Amino acid sequence: MSFALPERGAPWSDIEPRMRELAKGDVKWRDGRTGMYIFNAGPEVEHVQKTAYAMFASENGLGPAAFPSLAQMEREVVAAGLSLLNAPPGAAGVMSSGGTDSIFLAVKTARDHARAKRGLNSGLNIVAPSSVHPAFDKACMVMDIEMRRIPVKGYLADPAAMEAAIDANTLMLVGSAPCFPFGLIDPIDELGAVAERRGVWLHVDACVGAYIAPFVRMNGAKLPAFDFAVPAVSSISGDLHKYGYASKGASTVLFRSETLKQFLEFDAGPWPLGRMITPTLAGTRPGGAIAAAWAVMQHLGVEGYRQKQGEVTQAREKIEAGVRKLGFEVLGKPQLGIVSFAHPKVDALRVYAQMHHRGWFTAALVDPRALHLMLSPKHNEVAHEYLADLEASLGAVTDEQFASKYAG
Ligand SMILES: *Cc1c(COP(=O)(O)O)cnc(C)c1O
């Protein structure tokens, strides 16, 4: 009888080199040629993140009485998020494992709130722009809610079209700050006016914006109101493992008041241990992810975040200027760390393939066909390399197109 598990165990000294060997096939993100999945704030932040994670990798956030350390770190991380996002006194939140998790929790909270306060029980729907993250569709699948994706206008949420899609069973209105495909901040104040008029919960998905936008604004950019400063915003999702530069597995979901947050709690009992009440869907909660998020916040502070996010802004401005020179059109007016651009004459997906061939691991859009970059501080150092390769890639695709046009 043989098992997939090795018959005999091995010491770490044997295992570590094997893992390094395995990692050889992975993208070399530390060189800055990766524009998705990774937020690269440099080796010092990586060191803080990993050391803090390891210190609390065995501890469990499910037990705040056993681990008051983790409870305190979570409280402080949440408080930082609330204050960065203009939350009023009495606002509340929790840490979750990621953006999808935070979005699920916000939808669940809004649903239970609507059940209690509006008597809504079945046939519920969510009205969101077509650019919103698929995590909302997933939450709808699980909670038997209809997802209404409304086409964007000029790449932004269209408040009038969204209002027209609202009915008596609309649970939630969603805007992104920014949306992932185009990196643009939806008109949250206009959505707020709609939400107020129609008595609907407004959620802002700031998964990829919550921990960059406040610092970009402090650095002098004029950003539209997108957070709790808009009175109708009931909840916000903001990922720490994106522009918070925390280890993976860390996000926040924040609520305007403790009263709203109470609808998040899961009270699932009884069972032989009595009654299980948890603040989120999770049972076991990774101590490492909480500790790493807290430690990176202590390490960077406001000054450090302003510096890092300033580098992201510089990288984005260099890229925008460079791609325009090459004849690309930037989609909308990005203000944070994501930029997408299309070409009026050349198929962006063919350029994408060329860039991939040159070692750039990034995303692309299929509707419209465009190149997509999610920038990190590191990209400020390599923006010129990206643009040089983009010029070469564009040349190669133009040659191909020319050749095929005159081939026969
Ligand atoms: C990343 C992202 C999500 C999902 O977050 P995960 O941590 O990948 O689950 C949701 N919304 C937006 C706008 C995002 O950028």
Q: Is the CB of 374 under 6 A from ligand 1?
A: no
**What pLDDT score does 408 carry?**
54
For residue 374 the two structure tokens come to 């999610």
User: In this model, does residue 400 exceed pLDDT 90?
Assistant: no
CA end-to-end distance (rounded Å), the chain = 63
| DSSP string across 299-342 | HHHHHHHHHHHHHHHHHHHHHHHHHHHTT-EESS---SSEEEEE
What tokens does 177 get?
């700050």
Q: How far apart are CA 209 and CA 91, in angstroms?
A: 19
Cα-to-centroid distance, 70 and ligand 1 (Å):
24
For residue 132, which atom of ligand 1 is closest to its CA?
Answer: 13
Average pLDDT over residues 84-89: 98
The answer, yes or no, to whether residue 407 has pLDDT greater than 90, is: no
Query: Is 238 close to ligand 1, i.e. is its CB under 6 Å away?
Result: no
Q: What is the torsional sign of CA 285, 291, 293, 294?
A: positive
Give pLDDT, residue 406: 77
pLDDT at 403: 80
Nearest to 343 by CA among 362, 363, 325, 316: 325
Give the whole-angstrom CA distance, residue 187 versus residue 321.
Answer: 25
Q: What is the DSSP letter of 30?
A: G
Query: Do 50-296 and 305-397 show the same overall fold?
Result: no
Cα–Cα distance for residue pair 175/103, rounded to 1 Å: 12
In this prediction, residues 135-139 reach a mean pLDDT of: 98
> What's the CATH code, domain 50-296?
3.40.640.10
Q: Would you say 339 and 386 are in contact if contact means Cβ atoms under 8 Å apart?
A: no
DSSP-derived secondary structure for 367-398: TTEEEEEE--TTHHHHHHHHHHHHHHHHHHHH
For residue 368, cis peptide bond before it (omega within 30 degrees of 0): yes
Q: Is 180 in the pocket of ligand 1 (CB under 6 A)?
A: yes
Sorted by where each begins, the domain ranges of the chain are 50-296, 305-397
* Most ligand 1 atoms within 8 A of CB, residue of 136, 208, 226 to mutate: 208
How far apart CA 206 and CA 223 sit, in angstroms, is: 14
Mean pLDDT of 66-79: 98
pLDDT digit string, tens, across residues 266-311 = 999 789 999 999 999 999 999 999 999 999 999 999 999 999 999 9
Domain 305-397 has CATH 1.20.120.1730: no
CA 59 – CA 294 distance, rounded (Å):
15
Amino acid at 174: V
Task: Please check whether residue 361 is in contact with residue 35, taking contact to mean a CB–CB distance below 8 angstroms.
Answer: yes
| CA distances from residue 152 to 11, 43, 162, 253, 310 in whole angstroms, order as listed | 55, 39, 9, 25, 29
User: What pTM value is reported for the model?
Assistant: 0.97
116 alpha carbon to ligand 1 midpoint, in Å? 28
Q: What is residue 2's predicted lDDT score, i.e. its pLDDT?
A: 76
Which atom of ligand 1 lies nearest, measured to the CA of 100? 9
Q: Give percent above pLDDT 90 in the chain.
A: 95
Q: For a substitution probing ligand 1, which of 103, 107, 133, 136 has the most ligand atoms within 8 Å of its CB?
A: 133
Nearest CA to ligand 1 atom 6: 99
Is-contact 209 177, C-beta < 8 A? yes
Does pLDDT of 399 surpass 70?
Answer: yes
| Matching residue, tokens 């260099």 | 318
Residue 77 alpha carbon to ligand 1 centre in Å: 19
d(CA 221, CA 214): 10
Look at residue 374 in the predicted model and tell me its pLDDT. 98
Residue 350 has pLDDT above 90, yes or no: yes
pLDDT score, position 1: 65
pLDDT recorded at residue 269? 79
Atom of ligand 1 nearest to the CA of 103: 10
Q: Is the beta carbon of 131 within 6 A of some atom in ligand 1?
A: no
Compute the average pLDDT of residues 243-253: 98
Looking at the chain, the number of H-run helices and the number of E-run strands are: 12, 13
Instruction: Tell me the mean pLDDT in the region 316-321.
Output: 98
Please give the structure tokens belonging to residue 187. 């008109």
Confidence category of residue 371, pLDDT binned at 50, 70, 90:
very high
Tokens of 308: 């890092």
User: If you average pLDDT over every residue of the chain, what do you get?
Assistant: 96
Q: Is the CB of 250 inside a 6 Å radius of any atom of ligand 1?
A: no
With a 6 A CB cut-off, is 56 part of the ligand 1 pocket? no
